[in-house]
Structure 1
Amino acid sequence: MLLRNIAIACALGAALSSCASYQPPSPAFHRTLSEPYRLDSGDRVRVTVFEQDALTNSYAVDKGGFIAMPLIGSVPARGHTTEELEKAVADRLRNGFLRDPSIAAEVETYRPFFIMGEVTQGGQYSYVPGLTVQKAIAIAGGFTARAEQRNADLTRQVNGKIETGRVLVSDPIQPGDTIFVRERWF
């Protein structure tokens, strides 16, 4: 009887200690969903320079956070919105190349998201707008038999810092997010 009580106490202690380490995501974690999209490595941007077919193209944001364009070279893109990128490209082209450039930029392909843990096929997947945690899990082949199916841990970059929070499977994800599906207790 004493051994059974000790075993139960140890199991409860382990369960409670894992709960004690959990902290809900900060308000900024969800606020990023309503902010304008910020470019980063892995994104592909379609830059249109009107009446300049040689400059209009699709450009990848490299590991350094730049896009490389003809004539003007590397343009910083990491952390900028497409509107800010349009202005930066126009300013560079205005500096000795074009008198009054008209630029449009749009995200052609978003950087991937990552999923791991208790899913059939964890890995890197292409992001499309409107994805939720549940849809991402479906793309990864669904839950395993041991998966916690109500929520998951989501890691994302918030204001230049990496944050992790537990979210419902109905929560939206963003490009570059990492989803971890935990194993359930019973």
Structure 2
Amino acid sequence: MWFARKRSALSLVAAACLSAALAGCTSYSPAPKAFAQATIQPYRLDSGDRLRVAVFEQPSLSNTYTVDQAGYISFPLIGQVPARGQTLAGLEGAIATKLKQGYLRNPDVTIEVDRYRPVFVMGEVGRPGQYSYVPGMTAQNAIAIAGGFTPRGNQRDIDITRKINGDVLTGRTSISSPILAGDTIYVRERLF
């Protein structure tokens, strides 16, 4: 009788541990719809982007500028210009508007991204770290650049952390998913 009760209690403890372990395996959230929508939106600038700004017939103003940690570029004559969250067209308009305020009559400003902010690849990859982003890149491309999967790496799906509209979101997605500059890709360890 005593042995049967102890065995029953051990069975309950084992069942509780097993269900907790299985719940831990399924406690992820798939990538929200905002992940896919963000990849088809116009590119939004953020810290670390390096921009090539050209002001027509103004060689002293045309140069390469980097978006600083506070989200600004420091531009001659007009000072700090907010760039974080702006599209290229939006930033062109903001610079042109400020230059019209007493500096140039009708400034023609064009901006191109000279270098995108990096992506970060972590977890079960050969060389975790920071890597250059290229437009059109997928998670699989970034993992390949980071030395590929380790023998323990989960090759079915990965976790991506992305800033969308000022919010930092993480979701699980396939390795063929497109990524954006500034994304963090995490390759988990497979169970078997």
Unaligned regions of 5+ residues in structure 2, if any?
1-6
User: How far apart in 2 are the matches of 1:4 and 1:183?
Assistant: 30
Query: CA-to-partner distance for each residue in 1:21-45, whole Å, 9 max, x for gaps?
Result: 2111221121101111100000001
| Map of 2:106 onto structure 1 | 100
2:71 matches 1:56: no
Q: Could you say which structure has the larger radius of gyration? A: 2
Secondary structure of 1:45's match?
A: strand
Counterpart pick for 1:25 among 31, 35, 38: 31
User: How far apart in 1 are the matches of 2:130 and 2:8?
Assistant: 49
Shift of 1:78: 0.3
Kindly, what percent of the aligned residue pairs are identical?
Answer: 56
Cα pair distance change 1:89/1:17, threshold 3 Å: same
Between the two proteins, the alignment pairs up a number of residues equal to 186
Counterpart pick for 1:88 among 91, 94, 106: 94
Counterpart pick for 2:125 among 119, 122, 126: 119
After TM superposition, the structure 1 = structure 2 runs for residues 1-186 of structure 1, keeping only pairs within 5 Å, are 9=15, 12-186=18-192
Shift of 1:175: 0.4
Unaligned regions of 5+ residues in structure 1, if any?
none
Cα pair distance change 1:3/1:151, threshold 3 Å: farther
Secondary structure of 2:39's match?
A: coil
Query: CA-to-partner distance for each residue in 1:129-150, whole Å, 9 max, x for gaps?
Result: 1111111010000100101001
After TM superposition, where is structure 1 displaced by more than 3 Å over at least 4 residues in a row? 1-12
User: How far apart in 1 are the matches of 2:32 and 2:65?
Assistant: 34
User: How far apart in 2 are the matches of 1:52 and 1:42?
Assistant: 25
Report the TM-score, using the length of structure 2 for normalisation. Answer: 0.91
Report the TM-score, using the length of structure 1 for normalisation. Answer: 0.93
Query: CA-to-partner distance for each residue in 1:88-147, whole Å, 9 max, x for gaps?
Result: 000111001100000101111100000110001101111011111111010000100101
Shift of 1:160: 1.0
Shift of 1:51: 0.3
Shift of 1:3: 10
RMSD value, Cα? 1.9
